[in-house]
Amino acid sequence: MFGELSIPSAEHPADLIDLFGKRDIFFGIDRLRFPEDEQENLERIDFADSVADIWHLFLWREKSGCRNALDAFYEDTIDPLAERVAVCLGKRRKESIPKQIRIFYLMQNWYKSGGGNSRKSHSETKKKLTVVYDDIISLENLLEAWKEFLKGKKNKQDVQVFEARLMDHIFALHEDLENKTYEHGGYQAFKINDPKPRDIHKASVRDRLVHHAIYRILYPFFDTLFIADSYSCRKEKGTHKTLDRFRVFARKISCNDTRTAWVLKCDIRKFFASIDQEILLGILRDRIPDQDILWLLERVMRSFRTLERPGIGLPLGNLTSQLFVNIYMNEFDQFVKHKLKAKYYIRYADDFVIMSRDCEQLEGFLILIRKFLWERLGLCLHPDKVLIKAVASGVDFLGWVHFPDHRVLRGSTKRRMFRMLDERNAYAYLGLLSHGNGYRLREKIERMTLTEGVKPAILVR
């Protein structure tokens, strides 16, 4: 029955090792041409050894660069395996199904659903933006955008200079936008430590006003597309609600700490600096039919460029960048929720967690997550910030170490807090500590910085 196949003859699956250069490549049992009776050869197979971890297949794929060849190998060899493997295991190894089989099924479902290799052909059915270019560049919207931009910046010198001739600047900007002669200016670059070094790029007041005008119109539409458990740079969200949601999920998944719950925690490497502008524009085109809006968004996006990686990266500092990265990562959010069907998933910017009672399921998720991020979005996980561990052992997430019934401040955050502590920021740190188990730390701050007998209201509970 195997005579018509073009795959070389083999007496045992291990004979395929030389074909793929790795002993632990996942291969197709039903596509081998056995010279003897098929069932006899199937009985010789040790599934625990033969069905290897499919992660090595991905390593081989990335290192070899033979993506098309490997896709063909999957379609011709691996894809038809599910039923045959299930039957063989049911007959011979019902008592011990290796975890690699479970990962295989995840991979099969992933490929059958279309994977991350191409965008959906039915993009025309997606919800579309209904506002038009004139809504963004109107004088009314520019003035409202100025009011929002001005908050907390009235004492800045560049803002005062712009405000001195505000209406002249507004009319000139409106005319440039209307005639499509608007050109985004350059950036002032500087570094901050928050707590790790970050490169910030600050646009001119005129350009930042355009950012606010865009944000005011686009944010309400795109916010309706985001999942509920995406918390970064969104109204009525933020870090504190993220922490509370983590606690709710941890209690649910562990049945109030009566069952073992596992967490997959990941961080995307060089997040803002790795955003592919062309991929982002493709996502925006799927949602925005107005070509003039797309022209303006591309103007803003292309204003940031680096010599090392042209067309890659968004500036930390632009208000539009906050919206753009959420639109970009919404592709990943939808994949996790609707393809992986992960119920307990939380993302804050480039940090995300998935909870499950099944550790092996999370291992399978990790493989598919790496694949999707790289092939669909051009992003990589930080190799030192990926882990799977039990919630009961403490999970470091957004500056806090989370346990089933409490959370404590991360050690490095605690040390930085006491290093920078003074009377000006004492109340801010007291507010921070109120969101976790930090009573002793609050007492210590009180002794160090506050006058004897004075107790902030936050301490009186």
CA gap 325, 314 in Å, rounded: 8
Region 222-237 average pLDDT: 94
Region 68-90 average pLDDT: 47
- Model confidence band, residue 451 (pLDDT cutoffs 50, 70, 90): low
- Residue 12 in this model has a pLDDT that exceeds 70: no
Residue of 442 and 37 predicted with greater confidence: 442
Residue of 133 and 308 predicted with greater confidence: 133
319-334 helix and 205-223 helix, angle to the nearest 10 degrees: 30
> Global pTM?
0.70
- Residue 47 in this model has a pLDDT that exceeds 90: no
In this structure, of 21-25, 185-189, 332-336, the range with the lowest mean pLDDT score is: 21-25
The token pair at 413 is 């955050």
Helix (H) or strand (E) holding 201: strand 197-202
- Residue 380 in this model has a pLDDT that exceeds 60: yes
CA gap 44, 227 in Å, rounded: 49
Residue with the two structure tokens 């007496």:
11
pLDDT of residue 106: 55
Region 322-335 average pLDDT: 96
DSSP string computed for 250-302: HHHHTTTTTS--EEEEEEBTTTGGG-BHHHHHHHHHHH---HHHHHHHHHHHH
- Residue 56 in this model has a pLDDT that exceeds 70: no
Residue of 15 and 290 predicted with greater confidence: 290
What does DSSP say about strands 407-409 and 400-402: parallel, antiparallel, or unpaired? antiparallel
Residue of 438 and 252 predicted with greater confidence: 252
The token pair at 46 is 């040790």
CA gap 56, 25 in Å, rounded: 6
pLDDT of residue 454: 40
